Structures are given as structure tokens and as C-alpha cells.
Amino acid sequence: MTDLAPAALGNVRLRAPAHEPFRPAAPDQPDHWPTMFDMFLGETARNPLVGWPKETFDILNRKRRVLHLNYIGVSDPEGIKRVFLDNVANYPKPNLIRRALAPSLGDGLFTAEGEIWRDQRRLMAPVFTPAALGQFNPIFARVAERTADRWATGLDDHIDVAAEATRTTFEVINEALFSGEAGLSFEATSGDIDAVVAAAGEYRLGFLFGMPWLDQSPLQRRANQGRKVLLGHLSAFIARRQASPSPSADFMTRLLEAFAERYPPKEAAKLALDNAVTFFVAGHETTANGLAWALYLLSRDRQAQAWAREEAQAAWDAGGTPTEILGRLPYLKMVWEETLRLYPPAPRMDREALAEDEICGLPVRKGDMISVWPWVVHRHRRLWDQPELFNPEHFDPEAKASHQRFQYIPFGAGPRICIGMAFAQAEALIILSHWLARFSFRPVVGHTVTPRAHTTLKPVGGMPLIVERAR
């Protein structure tokens, strides 16, 4: 028995860890802002995380001129509330970003604005209510088990848990939302999806100035090719579904029916395709990154891993449905929340001001860009106690009660908060608890972990860990 039995975890105040919390990998915070050259062509262009100077984590809001645009970096929870909730109509997603994403995501839920966004969000909401989501828990458990069974037959050296997590969440989204019929195999398409996601986050000069032909980087070329493959497969899937509707009323069938009632056939098919791509892309890589970062943190904190395993084993050993098991994981939930604090899989959110406003005393002009980085907000020294350390106690019930509402935003905030939030939370906890109950995770000596923000926050070179049977 470890010194803090999981049975003792629950709604009670948790003790601080009995060991030194460790400092997870993060780039050094330089003394100065990067040069323009560095920002667009140097190291910061490849990984914006390395460009954040110390002051970003000490000053809550600041305005900067970058080329022809004003950027207002907002980390004050009050300012975040202003942008994402109180005056949300003034702050749509920037045209620039919508243009960059449009070739892949079209007018799907992530990119749409105004009436078409509201309409889609309303249509989709019933699939993502807590009651409706319960139907997916057995899928999460089944796919987690499939991955774990594969590990169990071939455990010799290290495993790249980032790749394994991506395969797992890819299978989950394919089965949960598309009944496994989308015609995409992980092997054939994961590289394409990766390229599309990464390319969307690349800082590009031609793009900023409306001259996309300037942006012929290898990554952009790879993304263009990947996009064609992805759209080809998913268009064929939609055409099959339209020709002979699936007997199962899955997410895609419901969307097709709802769009058909509201829009002309061509527009309905296009919206269905836009959302098929949106949900494939938005719905698996973020959760996969969260899983990889959680296993990284636990692999370095043996005590936290032992507590989480003890809790997971007890939860699964007690039997019952995956939904019941999910209710028995309070410590793992804290670990998961702390993981998303330190490594928010969607590390940035951007908005564009339609009209003048004021954010925490800073004047905003029409056209100003508002940049909110969960990576920065979650590591801000004015908002968190010892923000650079891994400590699940940041999320014990008492600590949580003292948080300001908008200081923790891994899923965004306001009306555009991630529609898949509860889906992702249940998925992650069921998968992690299954894996932890069966395996232990250790670091690979000599491997350096480097987080990189390219639209999503990923470890450079994957996340190799030594995976051993735990029982």
C-alpha cells in the first residue's frame, strides 16, 4: 500500500505530495522578444514556444506591433472573459485563420461564424450532452483494451506512446462518430492528417500578406497533398451514406439528415464533408497529445504513477460498466487536469476585433488581433502557485474552488468552448486508467523531451517510454 491510498481520495482535501514535485520539460524563457527574422524564418517560426520571454509570464496583458498588425496578448482571466464571453460578438475567429483552415475544414463547426455556426452547434449539441455521451464509454474501453493487448504481445523495447495514443484516439473517433465506416485507415492517413494540422500552425509571410504562392515550404506541399487524400476518402464516404443510409443512427447519419432538412442537397453534402474532416482532425489528435503528455508526466513522477495505478486497478477490479469505472477515478482526473494545464493540446486561440473595445484597460481598435495562449495563461506566475511544477494538487477540490473561472482554459471558453470536451475527458480517463492498471511507464534514458506548438502541442520526435507489465 502506498502512503496515500486511493480509497482516501475523493472529496476530501488531498495532502500535498510526499515527494518533491518535478519540473517538466519546457523551453527556457529568454530575456527578450525574438527578432522578426526569428519569428518568421528562425527557431520561433518552427516552435513559437521558444519565443516567449520571461515577461510574458509576469505581465497579464500586452499590446505589440508585429509587421502591419497589432497583437494583444491576453492572459488576465477578466480579459479572457471579455473576449470569449461578455463581448464575444466583437471577437470572431480571425479571417486570416479561417482562410488558412478553409481548404480543409470549409464551413465546419470549427471555422464557421454567425448563423451557420449557431445552426450547426444547435444541431450537434444533442450528441454531446452528458447523457448521450455515455453510449461512447464502452467504445473507449474496447479500443483502449485493443491497444493494451497489442502491447502485451510485443513488449520488448520502448514504445512511442504518442504514436500509440494517436492510433487509439483515431480508432475511437472512427468508431464513435462514423461507426468505423469512414474508409480511413490509421496507417494510410495519419501522416496526411498530421501534415494538415501542422501546416495550419506555420507562421507564413505570404499568407499574412495575401500572397500564398510565397509559402511553398515542404510542409505546405505535404499538407496540400494530405488534404486531397483526406477529402477524397471522406467525400466517397458521404456519397456512400447518401446513397444508402446507415442503419445505425450515428453522428454522421444524424448530421446528413439534419443538413438535408435545412439546406439544398449540394450545400448539405458540402457541410457534411466539412464536418467529417473537422471532427476527424479536431477530435483525435488533441486527446492523443493529452494522453502522451499524461504518460510522460507519470513516467517521471513514480509516486503519482503509483497512486494513479492503485486507483485504476481498484476501479477496474470492482467491475461494472465503463461509466461506473469512470466515476471511481478522482485522483487520475486531477492528473489529467494538471496535464492539460502544463501541456494544453490546443496551445493558442486567436480572435480579431470587429470594433473598438477595451480589455482590462488596454484600448482595442478594429482589426486588432487578440491572442490567448493557454500555454502562457496556465504557466503565469500571477495566476498559479509554482506553475512550472507538475503537481496534481493544483486541482484538488479546495485548490480548484479558489481558481478564477477563466484561468484554466484547455478547452477554450464561452459559446465556442470545445464541443468535444466531455467526450475527451471521459475518453482520456477510461483509456489512461485501463493502461495504467495493466502497465507501468518508465523514461527512456537519454531521450530529451521537447514540446513544440504547431497548431497542437506535441513532443518533438514522439514520446518513447519503457512499458512493462504492472501485474
d(Cα 393, Cα 115) in Å, to the nearest integer? 42
d(Cα 363, Cα 366) in Å, to the nearest integer? 10
Task: Compute φ and ψ for 232, nearest 5 degrees.
Answer: -60, -50
If we measure between CA atoms, which residue out of 360, 366, 402, 367 comes closest to residue 384?
Answer: 402
State in angstroms the smallest separation of the CB of 411 from ligand HEM.
5
255 in contact with ligand HEM (CB under 6 A): no
| Residues within window 77-106 making contact with ligand HEM, judged by CB under 6 A | none
SS3 for 407? coil
- Compare residues 282 and 306 and give the one whose CB is closer to ligand HEM: 282
Instruction: Tell which one of 52, 110, 373, 395 touches ligand HEM (CB under 6 A).
Output: 110
Task: Compute φ and ψ for 371, nearest 5 degrees.
Answer: -120, 115
Q: Of the listed pieces 134-142, 212-220, 239-247, 412-420, which binds ligand HEM according to CB under 6 A?
A: 412-420
Q: How far apart are the first and last CA of the chain?
A: 15
Instruction: Tell which one of 420, 451, 459, 462 touches ligand HEM (CB under 6 A).
Output: 420
- Compare residues 14 and 294 and give the one whose CB is closer to ligand HEM: 294
Instruction: Tell which one of 410, 459, 462, 464 touches ligand HEM (CB under 6 A).
Output: 410
Q: Of the listed pieces 130-138, 141-149, 229-237, 404-412, which binds ligand HEM according to CB under 6 A?
A: 404-412
- Compare residues 313 and 323 and give the one whose CB is closer to ligand HEM: 323
Handedness of CA 56, 58, 61, 64 (dihedral sign): negative
Cell of 119: 445552426
359 in contact with ligand HEM (CB under 6 A): no
SS3 for 374? helix
Handedness of CA 301, 306, 312, 316 (dihedral sign): positive
d(Cα 97, Cα 118) in Å, to the nearest integer? 19
- Compare residues 294 and 308 and give the one whose CB is closer to ligand HEM: 294
Handedness of CA 445, 451, 455, 456 (dihedral sign): positive
- Compare residues 14 and 252 and give the one whose CB is closer to ligand HEM: 252
State in angstroms the smallest separation of the CB of 339 from ligand HEM.
9
d(Cα 328, Cα 330) in Å, to the nearest integer? 6
Q: Of the listed pieces 263-271, 275-283, 308-316, 353-361, which binds ligand HEM according to CB under 6 A?
A: 275-283
State in angstroms the smallest separation of the CB of 32 from ligand HEM.
28
- Compare residues 410 and 462 and give the one whose CB is closer to ligand HEM: 410
State in angstroms the smallest separation of the CB of 353 from ligand HEM.
15
Instruction: Tell which one of 17, 34, 283, 387 touches ligand HEM (CB under 6 A).
Output: 283
Q: Which residue is nearest to ligand HEM (CB)?
A: 420
If we measure between CA atoms, which residue out of 80, 43, 73 comes closest to residue 55?
Answer: 73
- Give the DSSP letter of residue 134: G
Q: Residue 32: exposed, middle, or buried by beta-carbon count in 10 A (0-12, 13-18, 19+)?
A: exposed
406 in contact with ligand HEM (CB under 6 A): no
282 in contact with ligand HEM (CB under 6 A): yes
Cell 488531498 identifies what position?
Answer: 14
Return residues touching ligand HEM (CB under 6 A).
109-110, 121, 278-279, 282-283, 286-287, 290, 345-346, 349, 410-412, 416, 418-420, 423-424
